[in-house]
Chain A
Amino acid sequence: MSQSNQPVIKIESGSKTYQGVYAIKGVDFDLYPGEVHAILGENGAGKSTLTKALAGVLELTEGRLLLENEERSFKSPREALVAGIVMVFQETSLVPTMTVAQNLYLGEEKFYNRLRGLYISAQQFLQGLNFGVDPTVNVAMLGAAQKQMVEIARAVLHNAKVIIFDEPTATLTPEEKQHFFKLLNDLKAKGVGIVFISHALEEALDYADRITILRDGEHILTEQASNLDRDKIIQAMVGRELSDKLYSKQAGVKSRPRGKKILSVENLSMQNVVKNNSFSIYAGQITGIFGLIGSGRTETAKIISGVVKRDFFHGGEVYLEGKAVRYRVPEQAMRDGIAYVTEDRKIEGFFETMSIGENIYMGELAASGKGGAMLSSKRRKEVSAEWIKTLNVKALNDDARVVELSGGNQQKVVIAKSLIQNPKVVIFDEPTRGVDVGAIQEIHELLNALADQGLAVVVIASYLPEIMNLSDRILVTRQGRVVEEFKASDATEDKIMYAAIH
């Protein structure tokens, strides 16, 4: 850590209230130049509020914000940007219909702009950062990692003194993560102060200099990362003893035996993304699918569940209980008993302005085909009460809008919406992405319970310890197809990673 003695940015007793309710209360935070500072906490702990206050997205209601020892109050992110504070959001703030170069210089445009000149300077700048991103490509065409790179490039371009990352690695593959943290080190060496929020505790332990933990809007501790370990962090985050077996399969626990073959995928193809993919899914066990982003995992799941279509010519076959199926819309898959819990819940998982109850009831209506003018508010209340209780969704009542819930509770609503359809096969795509530690454990317990009940459970995840902990058998995808199958007892991180890459 190359710190100077004076913090670049500091919050003293910062509080933010919404209608009298504290989102953060009396929080102290400081960041030194050339320091990587991780902020950890469960969903709803106040991490985002704190970082948004730093970046000028919102103003503190109490307390002081000091930038290089000078009290400041940013009215907008623009003011913070001018002052050298940039925030890279979890959902990138890039304009998808504009090119990379246009996004880089957005807000910096001159009176007369020549696109060619813009591309040349963007190209030089990106190459200077060793980013392999084409400046002429529309941002919508980029993968998550490349979007992240553009965001970082934009921050560097603005001579940022402080860069704040909200869940920067959530959508990155392990190799891309390595690249990202190398970048962090480069920025750090240049004296940039870095704040990052992450649910992956190992990342914070490995890469941060200091760690701040928040709980229920309050500051719990700030400590050198070297003085902390996983257990201490979890205990501080949740304020209670949590099973330390979250990501470690207990010795002696036997994998569940295979049940009947429920789903069989043969030579499934979709353009260049899914290529001759073949595998089988069995009832009564959890099949984990691991692969790098772009290895066709999600697309395969989406073809199976009717979200996207396979190739029209020689697209392969999907057999559900021995019967060839080909769905045009997800509704048909749902009625046949295939539920898909999306990796991107905010866009594809729920109706954010509708209530918990309405969302869950929607799942039942979609599967049963009933509904139309015959909606029953009584039934809606029944099903939502039942599932809120079953999945321990934390909300004041079932009328709460889903958008107001924390990530973990939103995910539980999405799961409830799928499980109410009484599926035979449930495909969970990144079930714990953006979910806090407490909810991760609850979701893992739920997945295990579903497999114990005899359902065929498929878990697609990028986080190796999660796949290894949950799965009874592990399939590894690479370049659009399943290339390796491991018994849970045989699998090691190295073996899985080797199969995923080579």
Chain B
Amino acid sequence: MSFLNFGPIASYLGRGKASITIPTMDGAFRTNELLENADLYVAQQDADCLANADDHLFLSAGCQVFELTDKAKVAIATFDSEITALAAEGTAIAVGLASGGVEIKGGSYEGLYLSDMKCPTAILFQKDKLIVAEGAKHLAPGDWARDLLERGNSGQIVSVDLKTGQSKKLANGAAWASGLAETSDGKVIVSQSWQHCLSNVDDLNEEKSLCHNLPGYPSRISPASDGGYWLAIFGMRTQLIEFILREKQFRKEMLKTVPTEYWVAPALVSRENFLDPMQQGAVKQLGIKKPWAPPRSYGLVVKLDEDFQPQYSLHSRVGGLRHGVTSAVEKDGMLYVVARGAGQVIALNLSAIEGEIVQ
């Protein structure tokens, strides 16, 4: 009776793609307060992306790139536009810009500017190539909420030969490609935020994904020292948003009439504003029914093994501040995490994390 799982029948029955279900936060996603309780490394408004190379740790925030050392930051480069992606290799850094384009500073390709990239969200150095993920075809990186609400799938992954400057489209049709990683055998892995999965770039099909049905919207991926990966999740899926995503007319009206900041959409930070959308719910505790609201924003980093299976996760829960995690990078036994919602870079000792999370 698989016909019941598709189309208007599924919508009526609440089945298949129309079933408003989200994965539970158990097992590898069991909640803790590790992000919330972590040490502050650097506070920086608009902190967004981390990259490390040759023992240097870089942070992009606003239009600047900083080098982070000993809980201090030093600006090393300033660009004309907000930085939306950052990668580093050797002495070179590559940045994606909100105004469009990717620019390289330092190294052999100093000054190289790739103007074709309209919405760069993640960058990966791969020998003499630069792999760039673009979130959407006709939107700027900051318009990610609109892309989600329009159920966009126009993202693409492009490979640029740095020697010749020639670019080659590796994949398109990505539902907001927002993270890139390279496996030990040279394959490129891409995270698709709106499909809640990680896929091989050669096959963005959700069913063939390496890690699927994540409880939030995956963002940037970086390698871990044990062969696994760190995955930043910048927002959580909730029943409310899954429901909204089914209601086309409602979304259309909302996009047209409601200010962007009050859209029913995931957010990087929760504000104490009564105009913020809320999902009504209730739990019964000790015989008393109590109202509650699921998270508008959340902080989550997931440790993946080398097969991209979640091992454990670090959380900043609903009442916390370290929300909207956009990047996590491991360096010298420490994990550095950007909580964009809080404008902070936080640092966690890996051995302490593993001690806390006894499997």
Interface residues of A (CB under 8 A from B): 254-255, 257-258, 260-261, 264-267, 278-280, 282, 312-317, 319, 322-324, 326, 328, 473, 475, 479, 482, 485, 487, 489, 502
Contacts and interface: CB of A to CB of B under 8 A. Distances in A.
Contacts of A282: 27
Contacts of A479: 284
A266 B285 contact: no
30 contacts: A258-B27, A258-B28, A260-B307, A261-B27, A261-B309, A264-B24, A266-B19, A267-B19, A267-B21, A267-B22, A278-B21, A278-B24, A278-B26, A279-B26, A280-B23, A280-B26, A282-B27, A314-B13, A314-B19, A314-B20, A316-B21, A317-B15, A322-B213, A326-B1, A326-B15, A328-B1, A473-B27, A487-B359, A489-B358, A502-B286
Interface string B307-341: 10111000000000000000000000000000000
A452 to B, nearest CB: 15
Given A264-B213, A324-B16, A489-B358, A258 B23 contact: no
Given A257-B359, A278-B26, A280-B26, 20 more contacts: A255-B358, A255-B359, A258-B27, A258-B311, A258-B359, A260-B309, A266-B22, A267-B20, A267-B22, A278-B21, A279-B24, A280-B23, A314-B20, A316-B19, A317-B15, A317-B21, A322-B207, A322-B212, A479-B284, A485-B30
B99 interface: no
Contacts of A254: 358
Contacts of B15: 315, 317, 326
A313 B13 contact: yes
A258 B310 CA distance: 9
Contacts of A316: 19, 21
A292 to B, nearest CB: 15
Given A267-B19, A319-B213, A280 B27 contact: yes
B278 to A, nearest CB: 19
A282 B24 CA distance: 13
Nearest to B309: A260
B236 to A, nearest CB: 14
Closest 3 CB pairs of A and B: A314-B14, A278-B24, A266-B21
A254 B213 CA distance: 29
A485 B21 contact: no
Contacts of B284: 479
B5 interface: yes
A312 B307 CA distance: 36
Contacts of A323: 207
Interface of B: 1, 5, 12-16, 19-24, 26-28, 30, 207, 212-213, 284-286, 307, 309-311, 358-359
Nearest to A312: B13
Nearest to A287: B27
A315 B212 contact: no
A312 B4 CA distance: 10
Contact of A487 (B22, B213, B307, B358): B358
Contacts of B213: 264, 319, 322
B26 A482 contact: yes
Contacts of A502: 285-286
A283 B306 CA distance: 17
A10 B158 CA distance: 90
Contacts of B26: 278-280, 475, 482, 485
Contacts of A280: 23-24, 26-27
B178 to A, nearest CB: 21
A278 B24 CA distance: 6
Contacts of B30: 485, 487
A254 B30 CA distance: 18
Given A267-B20, A502-B285, A324 B13 contact: no
A313 B14 contact: yes
Nearest to A260: B309
A170 B308 CA distance: 44
A475 B26 CA distance: 9
Nearest to A264: B23
Contacts of B358: 254-255, 487, 489
A322 B209 CA distance: 10
Contacts of B27: 258, 261, 280, 282, 473, 485
A252 to B, nearest CB: 12
A20 to B, nearest CB: 57
A502 B285 CA distance: 7
A333 B118 CA distance: 48
A124 to B, nearest CB: 30
A482 B23 CA distance: 13
Contacts of A278: 21, 23-24, 26
B164 to A, nearest CB: 40
Contacts of A328: 1
Nearest to B17: A324
A324 B5 contact: yes
B16 A315 contact: no
Contacts of B286: 502
Nearest to A322: B212
A326 B10 CA distance: 14
A282 B310 CA distance: 11
A312 B329 CA distance: 45
B23 A266 contact: yes
A3 B212 CA distance: 67
Contacts of A257: 359
A306 to B, nearest CB: 13
A324 B16 CA distance: 8
Contacts of A319: 213
B185 to A, nearest CB: 20
Nearest to B197: A322
A223 to B, nearest CB: 43
Contacts of B310: 261
A324 B14 CA distance: 13
Contacts of A261: 27-28, 309-310
Nearest to B14: A314
A300 to B, nearest CB: 13
A316 B22 CA distance: 10
Nearest to B28: A258
Nearest to A318: B21
B247 to A, nearest CB: 15
A491 B20 CA distance: 32
A479 B28 CA distance: 24
A317 B19 contact: yes
Contacts of A473: 27
B9 to A, nearest CB: 11
B200 to A, nearest CB: 15
Contacts of A258: 27-28, 311, 359
B24 A266 contact: yes
Nearest to A487: B358
A502 B284 CA distance: 9
Contacts of B12: 313
Nearest to B285: A502
Contacts of B28: 258, 261
A324 B206 CA distance: 13
B161 to A, nearest CB: 36
Contacts of A326: 1, 15
A312 B23 CA distance: 20
A316 B242 CA distance: 13
A278 B286 CA distance: 21
A475 B24 CA distance: 12
Nearest to B239: A267
A470 B171 CA distance: 47
Given A255-B359, A258-B311, A324-B5, A482 B24 contact: yes
Contacts of B207: 322-323
